[in-house]
Structures are given as structure tokens and as C-alpha cells.
Amino acid sequence: MGATTTGAGRRRAVPWLVLGLWIAVLAIASPFAAKLGDVQRDRAVDYLPASADSTQVAKIQERLPGGEATEMVLVYHRDAGLTAADRATAAGQVAEIAAAHELTGRPVGIPSKDGTTLMYPVASNEPGTDEKARDALVNDVRDIARGGDGLGVEVGGSGGLATDASEVYDSLDGPLLYTTAGVVALLLILIYRSPFLWLVPLAVAGLADYLSLAVAYGLNQGFGTSVSGQSSGIMTILVFGVGTDYALLLVSRYREELRRTERPYDAMLAALRGCGPAVLASSGTVAAGLLCLLAADLNSSRGMGPLGTVGVLCALVAMLTLLPALLVLLGRRVFWPLVPRYGSTPKARRSLFAAMGGSAERRPRTVLVGGAVLLGALALGSFALPGNLKQEDSFTTRPDAIAAMETLADAYPGSGTQPISVISPTDRAEAALAEIRDTRGVESAEAGRSGGGWTELTVLASAPPQSAAETATIEALRDRLDGSYVGGPSAEQIDLEDTNARDTAIVVPLVLLSVLLILTVLLRSLVAPLILVAAVVAVWGAALGIGGLVFGPLFGFEGTDPGLGLLSFVFLVALGVDYGIFLMHRMREESLKGAEPTRAALSALRTTGGVIASAGLVLAATFAVLTSMPMVQLVELGFVIAVGVLLDTFLVRTYLVTSASVALRRRVWWPGRLSREPGRSAPDDLREPVGV
């Protein structure tokens, strides 16, 4: 009697204790979560390669007197040609700007040959490295520089472009969070068919996201981890996408256990024992894959690794502690109207995945070859991907800075309109200046600020920005100027492309190796992990290929983000292997119970297919939210990952992996004992990891 009373007391106390601990943790985390936005940085240096010339230029500029200069270009334009009144207006507005702000020099107007445009390069050291002060300066200049009556006025340059990008990233937090939560809520309502149940995992995911903000802030303060608008947005996507996947698996198994177990507390313990190991293994795989980004030289990629890992781990902890506690406290009634009664049997129905498994069973090799050919054909579309993305093509909208760049390109064809920054040792500045002026493709060069042993030289190329000719000029300067650094917006784009190629060569093998090691330990096989990894790599290639077929013709994108290949590979491999873990782990458990290989494969597909499909839809939908954002690189990344997850869920997992398992039979578990011995019964306490 006493033991029964003690057990009942524990069943009542543990969920309340877990809930109380979470309330305490969130209360402690709250002040830190609110500060993450204060340390978020979206300067060029926060996205540049750590070792690149352009990064060194940006860092040294920050230490020069006045700090990093904010460079702008005021563009005055009239289609029919500028009038004398237009020029007077421009001169008056520039004088007003010079009176209101400390400029690094006297702005001089440069007219276009056709007389339609007048540009004034303007620079100020007022903001230094303060992004908010920079944005305030640019916006104040835009308030002063206004047109009308046919006179167009635009403010561009690197400062204007940085301000426009910063405003886009600052606006992501709210819309991204609300849109993601709304998409997940809609899908959960459709999946659970309950007016209440969907609220629980959604609320838990929201709290996990809030906790991840605090942990990310702690990493920034303790280890200097960079936080950008892109990485924090991806972290939110991962919390909701991966967290909801784990919730679907747990709730599905919990519903199953409620039919076999009288008390919700005991049913939850059984559910955690059943699906907990698979969830832990899958989260470990995702975390390991993301942490491989620490080997990247690109600051934005390297910072995304820790933040993505924080999101996955916060989602994992929340879904394995807070979600079970809330479900136990709410009892069976949370499933209304489809309440799983104790002792009841779910209605038998024809399973879509049983039908899919039947086709894989009849002709496994035909299905496998057909699927491989289809993925290979889709991957060929990657050759149609547009070239590298230029700055003026990086927005889906047309902000002021982009409009200014387009106007300058039309009015000054074949001329440089964007300065190249050279940082030279002060004692060699004069020699460097002479060398620069003697370099082919240089139109002009002037000495700028000096301090700390360095001198800034401002160079204007004779070729348009980010053209092949300007690129050749930048490379020539780097070859000729020993001991100097060459930077600026165009040089930054060159460094981004070069470093992404280097990072891909290093990070991709690391991701593959770490994922293979985890899968080998989990599945105790070499063949099965190789199948899973080969499958997700094929999915990645096919998803990129589909992107190549639609980015230009359908979306109208003029370029591809240089980091798209690497980031999409890391996410698709790490996340795609998740579903392979659920399927293959269940297949292995069926084999351990004595099922022959074909039966084990089909049973695993039949019992896990529904959960994997639901989880895949949710994850794809959360990444698809990025396609509504106003940055081309986010749209491209969200599209490729969403398409890849759908391919993985409904083609690779259901048909190809199952067909390969049926075709290879026991060889799929080589060299483990399941490849050599007939199936044997599992121990009495062995629980299946996943249920539907």
C-alpha cells in the first residue's frame, strides 16, 4: 500500500517539478534573451572571411582616426538632362549635409557625359563602428537629399547599402517568428485534428526559441561567437522545425502507449524509453554536422554553427522534458476529440506507406535504379544555376541604394563608381600610391587618413563595379602591393567567392565523416550508414538542380549566393539523416525481433512512414518561410532546403532506402552480427524506438 502511495505521489510531483524548473530557467534567461539583438552585427566584416584582405582592411579602418568611414554616393538624375536649377539644388543639399555632419573631405560633383546625372561621393567618420549611428547618419542624409518635379535623388554607396541590409535583417525577427509559428500551427492542426493538442508543442517550441536567444547571448559574451541576422533567423527556424519533428515523434508514441497503459505518467515513461534514443541520436547528428561549420573561414558560416547547434539542443531539451510534463498534467483529454482510451484498438486502415512498400518489395532494383536516375537527372539542373550574386542583385525588392547603383551603371558606363580601399604601411604609403597609379585599370588614387602605422588610400577603377575588368584591377593591385591590404565592396565579393570554395573543400568531408561515424555506432553497420549518406548527398544535388531550373526563369534571380552550396549541404545532410535514423533504427529493431530482412524493411516503413511524412512536411514548411524574406540569399537557401527535405521524405526514405534494404537483405547490416546470423528475439526489455 505504501509503495503504491509513493508511486502515485511521484506521478503527481514529477511533472509539476519539471514545470517549476522550466519557469525558473526562463525567468533567469529572460534578461539575457532580450539582449541578443544588441549584440547582433550585420556589418561586412561580420560576413567576411576571417583571413581575407578585405577583412583586414575593415578592421584597420575601424582603428584609424574617426573609425571606419561611412561612404555614400548622392545621385541626382533627370531623364531629360539636369537643369541649372537641378545643379543648384544638388549643391545646396550637399552643403547642408556638410554643415550638419563631419565629412572626411569636401564633396565634389562628378557629372555624367550625357548630362543626365550628377554624383557626389560623400564620406563621414561620425558613426565609427556603431551600426545604429551609421544608419542614423545615412537616413539623415536621405532626409536632406530629396528630389521632386522630375528630379530623382538616391543615396547609395557602401554605407547606403549596409543601412538597407541592416533594416532588412532587423525586420526579420518579428515576421520570421510569427510566420514560422503560424505555418507550424496550421500543420499541427491538420496532423492532430484536435482543437487543443497543437497548442502544446507550439507553445513549447516558442519557449525553446526564447531560451535559445539567452544561450546564444551567453555564447557571444563568453566566447565571442558572432551573431548575425542570418544566423539568428536560421536558429529560430531550426528550433521550430526540428523541435516540432521531435514533438511529433513523442506525441505519436505517447498516444500509442496510452492505449496500452492506464496512467498517463507511465505511458509517457514508456514513450520516452521507446523514442528517446532515436531522438537523441538524431539531434546529435544534426549538432555534429552544424558544429563542422566551425572549421569554415567565413565568419557568417562559422557563427551559424554554434547558433544552429544551440537551437537544436534547446529544442531537444524542451521536447524531452517540458512537453512530456505538460502532456501528463493535461491527461488524455488534450487529445479530444480523438481520445486514445485505455485498452482500445486504433481503427485499421489501408496505409499509403504499406502500398509504397509493396511496390518496393516487388521490384526493388527497378525502383532503386529509377529513383537514382531521377535524382541524377534533377541534379543536372545545377549547371543552370546563375553566376555569383552581385550586391545590386541581393534584394528581392529595390531599396534606395540599389536604385542608386543602377542609375550610376546606366549613366557612367565603363567607369568606376565604387571606391577600392587600400591600407598601406605609412612609411611605404607614397611608394604604394605611385605603384597604384601605375597599375592598369586605375583611374585615380588619393591618400587618406593615417594612424597606428597605417595609411588609407582611396582608389577608383576605370571599370564598372564587380565587372571582370575591375576584378582584374583588384587582383593586380594585390599582386603588386607587397605588405598592403586591398579591400572595399568589390574586393569583399571576390574574397567571399574564394573563401566559400575553400570552406566547402574542408567542411564537406568533415560533415560526411562525423555523420558516418555516428550512424556506424548507432546502427552497428557500415553498409547502412553509407546508403543513408549517399541518399542525402543525392537529394542535395537534386535540390540544387531544381533551384537551377527555377531561380532564373521563375524567380528572376540574377545570381546565386556563393555560400548556398555549403550551407544547403550541411543542413540537408544533417537534417535528412534524421529521418534515415528513424527508419533504419526501427528496421534494425524489427530484425532483432526475428523478422526476415524484407519483412523488417516493410514493417519499419509502414510504422514510421506517417510520422516521418508529417515531420518532413513541418520541417520543409518552416524552411520555406525563408522564401518570403526580402533577401535573395535567404530565399535561395530556404527553397533548396525545403525542396530537399520533401524529396528526402517522400522519395528517398519511402522508396530508395527501403528498396536498397530489400535488395541487399542481410548485407545491409554488414559487418554487424545481423548480416551473419538469422534473426533472434529481442530481450524482453527492448523497446522499439519510434511508433506511429
Q: Are residues 535 and 663 in the same domain?
A: yes
Q: Is 63 inside any structural domain?
A: no
* pLDDT tens digits, one per residue of 123-173: 887 776 677 888 899 999 999 998 888 999 999 888 888 888 877 777 666
Sheet harboring 454-461: ordered strands across? Answer: 442-451, 454-461, 420-425, 485-487
Q: What is the model's pTM?
A: 0.84
Interaxial angle between packed helices 299-317 and 199-223, expressed in degrees from 0 to 180 and rounded to the nearest 10: 140
pLDDT score of 354: 64
Start-to-end CA distance of the chain, whole Å, equals 36
CATH number, domain of 136, equals: 3.30.70
Query: What kind and span of H or E run contains 443?
Result: strand 442-451
- Taking residue 49's Cβ as centre, other Cβ atoms within 10 Å add up to 23
Within a domain: 324: yes
Q: How far apart are CA 563 and CA 604, in angstroms?
A: 36
Look at residue 551 and give its three-state secondary structure: coil
pLDDT attached to residue 352: 64
Q: For 15, phi and psi rounded to 5 degrees?
A: -60, -40
Would you say residue 463 lies in a domain?
A: yes
- Give the pLDDT confidence score for residue 688 in this predicted structure: 42
Contact yes or no for 247/239 (Cβ under 8 A): no
In degrees and rounded to multiples of 5, residue 153 shows phi and psi of: -130, 125
Same domain, 514 and 651: yes
Regions in the chain scoring below 70 on pLDDT: 1-11, 42-46, 66-67, 128-129, 171-173, 346-360, 414-417, 677-692
Whether the CB-CB separation of 620 and 645 falls below 8 Å is answered with yes
Answer whether residue 49 is part of any domain. no
The per-residue pLDDT for 549 is 94
Q: Is 413 exposed, middle or buried (0-12, 13-18, 19+ CB in 10 A)?
A: exposed
Q: What is the Rg, in whole angstroms, of the alpha carbon atoms belonging to the chain? A: 29
Q: Are residues 187 and 105 in the same domain?
A: no
Residue 64 included in any domain: no
> How distant, in Å, are the alpha carbons of 87, 109, 395 from that of 90?
5, 9, 28
- The answer to whether position 616 is within a domain reads yes
Same domain, 140 and 189: no
> Cα separation of 4 and 7, whole Å?
5
453 and 522 in a common domain: no
pLDDT at residue 539, rounded to an integer? 94
Looking at the structure, do residues 524 and 557 belong to the same domain, yes or no?
yes
* 547 in Cβ contact with 382 (< 8 Å): yes
Burial of 229 (0-12, 13-18, 19+ CB in 10 A): buried
Based on the domain organization, do 161 and 137 belong to the same domain? yes
Residue 72's SS3 state is strand
Give the chain's domain count.
Answer: 4
pLDDT of residue 349: 59
What per-residue confidence (pLDDT) applies to 22? 95
Residue range(s) defining the domain that contains residue 83: 69-168
Q: What is the CATH number of the domain that holds 582?
A: 1.20.1640.10
393 with 413, same domain? no
User: From residue 679, how far is each of 149, 604, 665 by CA, in Å?
Assistant: 84, 15, 12
- Among 436, 469, 494, the domain boundary falls at 494
Of 168, 201, 221, the residue at which a domain comes to its end is 168
pLDDT the model gives residue 687: 43
Shared domain for 95 and 178, answered yes or no, is: no
Q: What is the pLDDT of residue 677?
A: 56
493: which residues sit within 8 A by CB, 6+ positions away? 388, 390, 391, 466
- 238 in the same domain as 308: yes
Q: Tell me the DSSP string of 655-690.
A: IIIHHHHHHHGGGGGTTSGGGTS---PPPTT---S-
What pLDDT is attached to residue 415? 66
Question: Same domain for 215 and 308?
Answer: yes
- Name residue 148's beta-bridge partners: 151
- Nine cell digits for residue 129: 563602428
Domain boundary among 466, 494, 522: 494
145 and 109 within one domain = yes
Place of cell 511529433: 248
Is 56 inside a domain boundary?
Answer: no
Residue 664 and residue 44: Cα distance in Å, rounded? Answer: 51
* Any domain includes 342: no
